[in-house]
Amino acid sequence: MSTALPVFVVQSDFTDSAWKKNAPAIMTEQGATIYLGQNAAENLRKIQKAGRQLDNLGVAAVKLSGEGWGFDEQWAFANGYTDTLSKNQIQWADGADKLAAMRNIVNWSRDLINLPPQDIYPESLSQRVAEKLTSLAPEHVSHRIIKGDELAQEGWMGIHTVGRASAHAPCMLVVDYNPTQQADAPVDTVLIGKGITFDSGGYSLKASEGMLAMKCDMGGAATVAGALAIAIEQGLQKRVQLVLCCAENLVSGNAYKLGDIITYKNGTTVEVVNTDAEGRLVLADGLLFAGEVGAKKVIDAATLTGAAHVAVGNEYNALFSVDDDYANHALSTAAAQRENLWRLPLQPWHKENTPSAFADCANSRPQKGGGAGGASNAAGFLLRFAPNDGQGWLHFDIAGAYNNSANNMWATGATALGVRTIATLLQDD
């Protein structure tokens, strides 16, 4: 690495009158210094802001120097100092191997989300993920890509319906990580990711300003793929299957329309009242798959609703579950990983909040944003398809894990918030 700017953390108030007291990092002849207070959580926020400050100053390489750089402090700095194109270089203070390996995978997840839509479409996303996971444990990983009309032939009607209008065929990627190498080994967890590689809204067409960032609508797929990659690198000894539900939601003569009815593999019929509520339609297939393989636990992640984004902003992911014990464990896990997670309401009766006169249910309410409680109602729709009446199931709505423009904590683009939490949940007994 070329010459790097030294960065220090100091547990002390600074008195240099040349700098404003709220400046995250103070520049001196020795490098940059971050002065910390007594509040641990606020210290981590300040460290992350300092990373953003140095990136904005055009610093291309840093060396974390001196005492005080624990794992959490280094990771907070890396979150702020990571630029959109993942070019900034860090020399770690301690624990370099673990930090570098984790940062490489998190940046891989971010880069997938940030790639332009001509490069990421259903099959290319599936291939990139399969290749990455296979490279980490080639003897333990196998995969299958179910593509185009094969989806309809096998009954995966949500993915097929949403993606059939695109020149890029929809896909379901199934990755089987089986460290036992025994065909009858039980599946501990199924990870499900929403992989809408571009979302125009379909015939419920988005406005141009709302469509610009919709390359990020496969953020759930990148998040769970990154989580599995980290868990594998950390020695995961349980069988985990990854299911990515991949499609482009576009408009053409054979696109699905408002009023269409989808019949799912389990016989459930769904009236389409909003083609821009497509994520839940593809995730339903993933949840049905999880039930077929008898997974003990099911975790899905999706940039699902603007309502969740409004509720928790860009600083949190939203969590939904009817399994209180598992939900509380997820919240404590997220806190330990320094990733903000907030539980929003979900009860069994939320399943009834998207009614239809023509089918078992609709995919939304025919109102802007799905009406009041839109995020919970979307989770309620998914609950219809979750195995075991939702016991052992977590739904992460990560709609806020992408920034249309940089702020004082994150660069423009994907944040990968949630990857560490889900990776840790995979390791649970």
pLDDT tens digits along 375-412: 999 999 999 999 999 999 999 999 999 999 999 999 99
Asked if residue 216 and residue 76 are part of one domain, the reply reads no
Give the pLDDT mean for 300-317: 96
E-assigned strands of 186-332? 189-199, 240-249, 261-263, 269-271, 297-302, 317-320
pTM: 0.97
Residue from 246, 253, 264, 263 nearest 162 by CA: 246
> 86 falls in which pLDDT band (50, 70, 90)?
very high
- pLDDT of 127: 98
Statement: residue 145 has pLDDT above 90: yes
206-214: long-range contacts at Cβ-Cβ below 8 A with a sequence spacing of 24 or more?
206/276, 212/404, 213/402, 213/404, 214/117
Q: How far is CA 35 from CA 10, 57, 62, 384, in A?
A: 5, 18, 17, 51
In a domain, 403, yes or no: yes
Q: Is residue 102 part of a domain?
A: no
Please tell me whether residues 181 and 327 are part of one structural domain.
yes
| Last residue of one domain, picked from the residues 94, 125, 151 | 94
Closest to 362 (Cα-Cα) out of 286, 251, 258: 258
SS3 167: coil
Same domain, residue pair 46 and 163:
no
Same domain, 75 and 126: no
- The tokens describing 326, both together, are 């598992």
28 with 144, same domain: the answer is no
In a domain, 152, yes or no: yes
Q: Output the CA torsion sign for 303, 307, 313, 317.
A: negative
Predicted confidence band of residue 368 (pLDDT cuts 50, 70, 90): confident
Amino acid code (one letter) for 308: A
The CATH number linked to 316 is 3.40.630.10
Q: Residue 91 CB: number of other CB atoms within 10 A?
A: 16
Neighbours of 350 (CB within 10 A): 21
Q: Are residues 89 and 196 in the same domain?
A: no
**How many CB atoms neighbour CB 372 within 10 A?**
11
- Name the DSSP letter for residue 21: T
Same domain, 58 and 155: no
**Both 412 and 372 in a single domain?**
yes
Active-site residue, 21 included: no
Confidence of residue 273 (pLDDT cuts 50, 70, 90): very high
Short-list 42, 35, 33, 38, CA closest to 62: 33
Q: What are the structure tokens assigned to 108, written together? A: 């891989």
Single-letter residue type at 380: G
Are 170 and 274 in a shared domain?
A: yes
Q: What is the number of residues in the chain? A: 429
Spell out the residues 6+ positions from residue 325 whose beta carbon is closer than 8 angstroms to its own.
none
Q: For residue 90, what are the domain limits?
A: 5-94
Do the beta carbons of residue 322 and residue 346 sit within 8 Å? yes
User: What integer pLDDT is reported at residue 21 of this predicted model?
Assistant: 79
pLDDT of residue 1 exceeding 50: no
Residue 343, pLDDT > 90, answer: yes
| Domain total in the chain | 2
Answer whether residue 100 is part of any domain: no
Q: Please report which confidence band the pLDDT of residue 103 belongs to, taking 50, 70 and 90 as the band edges.
A: very high
Question: What does the pLDDT look like over 369-381, one tens digit per residue?
Answer: 788 999 999 999 9
**144 and 256, same domain (yes or no):** yes
Distance (Å, whole) CA 185 – CA 177: 11
Joined together, the tokens standing for residue 202 give 């379909």
Q: What distance in Å separates the CA atoms of residue 112 and residue 400, rounded to the nearest whole number?
A: 17
Q: How far apart are CA 160 and CA 145, in angstroms?
A: 13
Q: Domain boundary at 66, 94, 122, which? A: 94
Q: Which helix (H) or strand (E) holds 91?
A: strand 89-91
Report the mean per-residue pLDDT for the chain: 96
**pLDDT over 90 at 53, yes or no:** yes
Pair of tokens at residue 207: 């406005």
Instruction: Please list, residue by residue across 259-297, b when 16 or more beta carbons sit within 10 angstroms of its beta carbon and e when fewer do.
Output: ebebebbeeeebbbbbbbbbbbbbbbbbbbbbbebebbb
H or E element: which one contains 107?
helix 96-114
Look up residue 247 and give its two tokens. 């499609």
Same domain, 388 and 249: yes
Q: Which whole number is the average pLDDT over 274-291?
A: 98
297 is annotated as an active-site residue: no
Residue 163 in any domain: the answer is yes
**Annotated catalytic residue, options 46, 280, 365, 420:** 280
pLDDT level of residue 284 (50, 70, 90 thresholds): very high
**Of 261 and 3, the one with more pLDDT:** 261
**Pair 40, 188 in one domain:** no
Mean local confidence (pLDDT), 251-280: 97
Neighbours of 255 (CB within 10 A): 19
45 found inside a domain: yes
Residue 126 belongs to some domain of the structure: yes
Does residue 103 lie in a domain region? no
* Residue after which a domain boundary falls, among 46, 63, 94: 94
pLDDT given for residue 375 in this prediction:
96
Q: Span 305-312, mean pLDDT?
A: 96
